[in-house]
Structure 1
Amino acid sequence: MKFPTPVFDANASGGKNLGDLPEWDLTDLYPSPDSDELKRDMVWLEKECASFAADYEGKLADLDAEGLLNAVQRYEEIDIIAGRIMSYAGLRYYQITTDSDRAKFMADCQDKITDFTTPLVFYGLEFNRLEDDHLAGLLDANADLARYKPVFDRMRAMKPHQLSDELEKFLHDQSAVGAAAWNRLFDETMAALEFEVNGETLSLEATLNLLTEQDRAKREAANHALAKVFKENIKLFSRVHNTLAKEKAIEDRWRNMPTPQTGRHLSNHVEAEVVEALRNAVVAAYPRLSHRYYALKAKWLALDKMQVWDRNAPLPMESDRIVDWEEATNTVMDAYAGFDPKMAEIAKPFFTDGWIDAPVKPGKAPGAFAHPTVTSVHPYVMLNYLGKPRDVMTLAHELGHGVHQVLAAEQGELLSSTPLTLAETASVFGEMLTFRKMLEGAKSQEERKVLLANKVEDMINTVVRQIAFYDFECKLHAARAEGELTPDDINALWMSVQAESLGPVFEFAEGYETFWSYIPHFVHSPFYVYAYAFGDGLVNALYAVYEEGDPDFRKKYFDMLRAGGSKHHKELLAPFGLDASDPAFWDKGLSMIEGFIDELEAMEG
């Protein structure tokens, strides 16, 4: 039993006078934490889990096709109710992570649901013991059951890594005090951190935002404030990473996972060779992408050497104007409608019905995400909107996730969930549509240059930076297998990938070695990060097909989003004439970034 949880996207950034920012209305999930509806669902869930186990444990192999379909649909309904409760508890918590009542409510819900669903552990284990021929016969006999084949295929991919029923139940029971507890410690610690910058006390989000300020002294001051606080807490962050990596290694060993990355590849329904081809293509392209772009940027900033606080600096000619919420909304909605009015129509309720939580508030979780909740409700988008142009792109990104999640919900709970590698498709495509719309409206060569440079930086952050993150994680887990890692050990691993990916124009001031500590993906979802690069490369290739004028592109695109998790990436990309297992596929995506850098270099004359 898995509950829907958000994965945080890149950090948002900042400003003031933003207009009327929307906040979540969570009543579509439950009216309140003590509502009769929530109590009713808790009672139903406990009873139905026990009833499901009584009806089916030890009996799955004896079911005919109709009986197995009934079991699957009952399991799906349990998944919906458990997911609804945890979505509500989790979203309330992320609104104010420092509120101990909200934290307790979420923890209590998690504990109860873990207890209720423990009797269900048999289901996946017993299902995987069904003979292949027997299952194939059942699928042939019932078309409604055959619809769930992609779910069954993913379940059975774990067959070689399955433990005994007793051990699986133990792991399920102790999960709330394992990785989930360390995740919560990390989240609460991060939300409570305070940074002193020029006499002002700021949150992590607001301090990171200063790294995109025009004033170089402000950026440097923010960098030093971050480094100081990270260093003060580095032992705790090292303990979190050491423990999670060790816990993962123990479970991987018991499950006979050949590498620390295998579990992620299995859950993403992607082959290790495809990820390796992506990783190698990006690393080989570092000199043509990040090294070349940052050399250009150093020239624009009139610097011989760049410091890390210059990486996301605006260009000298860039306006520091604030984009209010109304303008951001119109920009993104116009771009979506320009692609297809249907896309804007799907996006509209996010703005009108309390599906977006935009303002920065004390204790609110940093970053941004789109949470699918459950297919019987709708997604919710969280932002920390502070009015920078990059925040408009973050809105376009998260709204893309939301549109994807709405369309995929048509598949039903078990088939709607998209593997992480494909989950970034609609979000990155939404960003590309918004960028192209803004580029079309550029009123001068200078404005075009700023837009292009910002897009290249976003793509470098999405592709180069995330593959560097992936390499860091690979090194971290490999090193942890040899023994406990000191903070200095982890710092050294971090720096080994930073210099390689950013290039020779950078110097790394003291303190930057600790900046691995605030990246939530390493804690929440090990090896998640390559999904960003996968998504960006995939969308660049998709967008090239769109620009070539395929008359059926829109229909194929919506079909792809509607498919959710019901098809493998090969099936989804085939209608577009694309194949991610072809190493040349990734070079095609990377060449789009190169093309933008070519144009920027040409502007230099």
Structure 2
Amino acid sequence: MTLTPRRPVFDANATGGAFGDLPDWDLSDLYAAPDAPELATDMSWLETHCAEFARDYEGKLADLDAAGMAECIARYEAIDEKAGRIMSYVGLRYYQNTGDVARVKQMADAQDKITGYTTPLVFFSLEFNRIEDAHYETVFADPRVSRYKPVFDRMRAMKPYQLSDELEKFLHDQSVVGAAAWNRLFDETTAALEFDVLGETLSLEATTTLLSDHDRARREAAAHALARVFKDNIRTFSRIHNTLAKEKDIEDRWRKMPTPQTGRHLSNDVEAEVVQALRDAVVAAYPRLSHRYYALKAKWLGLDTLQVWDRNAPLPTEAPREIQWDEAKSTVLDAYAGFDPRMAEIAQPFFEKGWIDAGVKPGKAPGAFAHPTVTSAHPYVMLNYLGKPRDVMTLAHELGHGVHQVLAAKQGEMLSSTPLTLAETASVFGEMLTFRKLLAGAKTKEERKTLLAGKVEDMINTVVRQIAFYDFECKLHAARAEGELTPEDINALWMSVQGESLGPAFEFMDGYETFWSYIPHFVHSPFYVYAYAFGDGLVNALYAAYEAEPQGFQDKYFAMLEAGGSLHHKALLAPFGLDATDPAFWDKGLSMIEGFIDELEAMED
């Protein structure tokens, strides 16, 4: 997700011609147009109802009985839905063309207004956390509100780190010129970057895509172009990271958070010990996974040493081809249907009703995402489709999110949102289903090898790479707490995790030390990245359970997705006989990657 004008590899018309009829979003299910009267009406409704909610409930939450609490929650959820609908609409329009001044202004204005309207609601979580435990337990034992208890249990987990009402309101108001403003600067900076690759001016998305090109010279040229532009902008990126890390350090200190990661763990409803066990298991497995695989890859490519532009290179035996949109669509839907027809039925409307924006277009944000919007509407998926095999897997990934979001929507606004640790489950499972279908259809040894190698690389990128990112973030925030970091300081922290994670097969070119600068997760969602590794390990264990006992698995899987954020990961995984708090759990997931590498090594004999 990102921002402003740039020239992609293909313009909108050329993209459609190259890969078929690529879909665009139809946002009319949210609002008919940016000047639709319903948008202004809803904004006015929100202002009124936020004020009325504060008037009716501030200072009174502790006295509510179950009936009163049920009404209070219903009103709070309605406000949440209205604000979510407005911000989803203006945000999605913005990501379609971040260089359109009118869209930028509309989103910024909406964000400012909604922040102002919702400031009176800051009391809600603060006052809620002051309810006496005995009264809280009594009220939420009542069936009229008991289903919401997981939401409020998570809210009350923040109780030890809560500030005064006045300070919390100040932080809420100040957010639009704090982290949100620096996020926008990062997005607009990255989206405006242009890269000269062999005489062609490309966007960030198009240039990073070239790192998986068949032509090694083009890959190398793209890597050097990235390094040049990142170096030219490194002071800006350094300032953004320094400021956001320091802002977080200050807030964490005021809240008495024990570590910079604590807030993320709390919001993810996951224990720090579980994340540490995941991190330690992956780091211990580096030699068995990434180091071993990249040694194999160097041999396949006929190289003594891999350069960074070889990391995602296709195998020499892999024939270059561009995959038409219709083929990508049928590949993913067929894989979903092979698992359970219900899964394909949920995914089908994304293609038919304008719920996907697929083409690369001027000003469009790079990357891909699935946004759930609100439970009274439906999710939207954004892609930048360039016809590569990895683009098909990205489609499978984001549609997995979409299916999950559709199923969880029945929980309502407050319970549908899944903690990040489980938010990647359906997306990674969707990728696994697509991969397994393709693998089953492989007709030759070389085709199977190509598919296996591609999957191993995806898994290394999802597990090894993301845990290395997590370690980098941990080091960055720890170092920033000691003082201002120069660009060279941040570069050194980045390189300290690269060799360890990728292994001795790699040589790192001058300039690679700046490649931390364009990764949006570090800016938008500190410590988010471990969720990818969590999701991959969890899905590997889930898929092993599916293979071991397929009978009834689909129903249990759908029930897990439908639960949204209503259950803790321990309860969600129990029906499958899995437990992420067991230190051995992560080795089960990692063993699947190791098994694929074993098979690739055996093919060399």
TM-score calculated relative to the size of structure 2? 0.97
1:172-183, aligned counterparts within 5 Å? 172-183=172-183
Q: Identify the residue that residue 39 of structure 2 maps to in structure 1.
A: 38
Amino acid in the other structure paired with 1:441: G
Residue 316 of structure 1: CA displacement?
0.3
In 2, the alpha carbon distance for the partners of 1:103 and 1:227 equals 29
Alignment of 1:205-604 (within 5 A): 205-604=205-604
SS at match of 1:517: coil
Specify the code of the residue in structure 2 equivalent to 1:179.
A
3-state DSSP of counterpart to 1:381: strand
Per-residue Cα deviation, 1:272-317 (whole angstroms, up to 9, x for no partner): 0000000000000000000000000000000000000000000001
Q: 1:144: how far off?
A: 2.0
Which residue is equivalent to 1:88?
89
Distance in 2, Cα, partners of 1:512 & 1:17: 32
Whether the 8 Å contact between 1:282 and 1:467 is mirrored in structure 2 is yes
Alignment of 1:115-194 (within 5 A): 115-140=116-141, 142-194=142-194
Unaligned stretches of 5+ residues in structure 1: 7-11
In 1, the alpha carbon distance for the partners of 2:391 and 2:144 equals 43
Whether 2:70 is the aligned partner of 1:69: answer yes
TM-aligned CA deviation for residue 76 of structure 1: 0.4
Q: Secondary structure at the residue paired with 1:143?
A: coil
Determine if contact 1:13/1:208 at 8 Å carries over to the other structure. no
Quote the Cα distance in structure 2 between the aligned partners of 1:139 and 1:296: 57
Counterpart in the other structure of 1:25: 26
The alignment partner of 2:315 has SS state of coil
Where 1:176 maps in the other structure, the secondary structure is helix
1:51-66 matched pairs, under 5 angstroms: 51-66=52-67
Does the aligned pair in 2 maintain the 1:13–1:385 contact within 8 Å? Answer: no
Q: How far apart in 2 are the matches of 1:187 and 1:123? A: 32
Q: Secondary structure at the match of 1:370?
A: strand
Q: Percent identity?
A: 79
The one-character-per-residue Cα deviations of 1:199-240 (angstroms, maximum 9, x if unpaired) are: 110000011111111111100000000000000000000000
Q: TM-score normalized by structure 1?
A: 0.97
Q: Tell me by how many angstroms 1:153 deviates.
A: 0.4
Check conservation: 1:307, 1:507, Cα contact below 8 A. yes
1:412-449 CA-to-partner distances (Å, cap 9, x unmatched) read: 00000000000000000000000000001111100000
Secondary structure at the counterpart of residue 518 of structure 1:
coil
Counterpart Cα distance in 2 of 1:233 and 1:139: 52
2:5 — aligned with what?
A: none
Name the CA distance, whole Å, in 2 between partners of 1:562 and 1:186: 35
Helix, strand or coil for the counterpart of 2:534?
helix
Report SS of the residue matched to 1:488. Answer: helix
Q: CA deviation at 1:550?
A: 3.7
| Alpha carbons 1:265, 1:271 under 8 Å: kept | yes
In the alignment, is the contact (CA less than 8 A) between 1:13 and 1:391 conserved in 2?
Answer: no
Q: Say whether the 8 Å CA contact 1:49–1:116 is kept in structure 2.
A: yes
Distance in 2 between the 1:450 and 1:546 partners?
24
How far off is 1:13 after superposition? 11
Amino acid at match of 1:446: E
Which segment drifts farther, 545-554 or 462-471?
545-554
Q: Residue 429 of structure 1 aligns to a residue in which SS? A: helix
Distance 1:13 1:496, change over 3 A: farther
**Could you tell which deviates more after superposition, 580-589 or 545-554?**
545-554
- Deviations, residues 543-574 of structure 1 (Å, cap 9, x unaligned): 00000124111110000000000000000000
- The answer to whether the 8 Å contact 2:323/2:388 transfers is yes
Amino acid across the alignment from 1:599: E
RMSD of aligned residue pairs (Cα, Å):
1.3
The equivalent of 1:9 in structure 2 is: none
The question of whether the paired residues in 2 share the 8 Å contact of 1:358 and 1:382 is answered with: yes
Given that 2:30 and 2:377 are in contact with CA atoms closer than 8 Å, whether structure 1 keeps it comes out as yes
Q: Deviations over 1:79-138 (max 9, x none)?
A: 000000000011000001111111110000000000000000011111100001001111
Partner of 1:101: 102
**1:292 is matched by which residue type in structure 2?**
R
Distance across 2 between alignment mates of 1:550 and 1:101:
52
SS at match of 1:196: strand
Task: Give, in whole Å, the separation in 1 of the partners of 2:551 and 2:470.
Answer: 37
Helix, strand or coil for the counterpart of 2:196?
strand
**Cα distance between partner residues in 1 of 2:535 and 2:294:** 23
User: How far apart, CA to CA, are the structure 1 residues paired with 2:462 and 2:550?
Assistant: 27
Contact (CA 8 Å) 1:371, 1:379: kept in 2 or not? yes
| Deviation for aligned residue 1:194 | 0.3
**Partner deviation per Cα, 1:34-84 (whole Å, 9 max, x = no partner):** 111101100100000000011011111111110111111100000000000
Instruction: Determine the C-alpha separation between the residues in 2 that align with 1:444 and 1:57.
Output: 68
Gaps of 5+ in 2: 3-7
Match of 1:112 in 2: 113
| Structure-2 separation of matches of 1:241 and 1:339 | 43
Matches of 1:139 and 1:481, distance apart in 2: 40
Q: Is the 8 A contact 1:429 1:539 kept in 2?
A: yes
Q: 2: CA distance between counterparts of 1:600 and 1:40?
A: 60
Q: How does 1:2-17 map to 2 (within 5 A)?
A: 17=18
* SS across alignment from 1:472: helix
Q: Runs of 4 or more off by more than 6 Å in structure 1? A: 12-16
CA contact (8 A) 1:95 1:365 kept: yes
d(CA) in 2 for partners of 1:438, 1:561: 24
Query: For residue 181 of structure 1, what is the amino acid of its counterpart?
Result: A
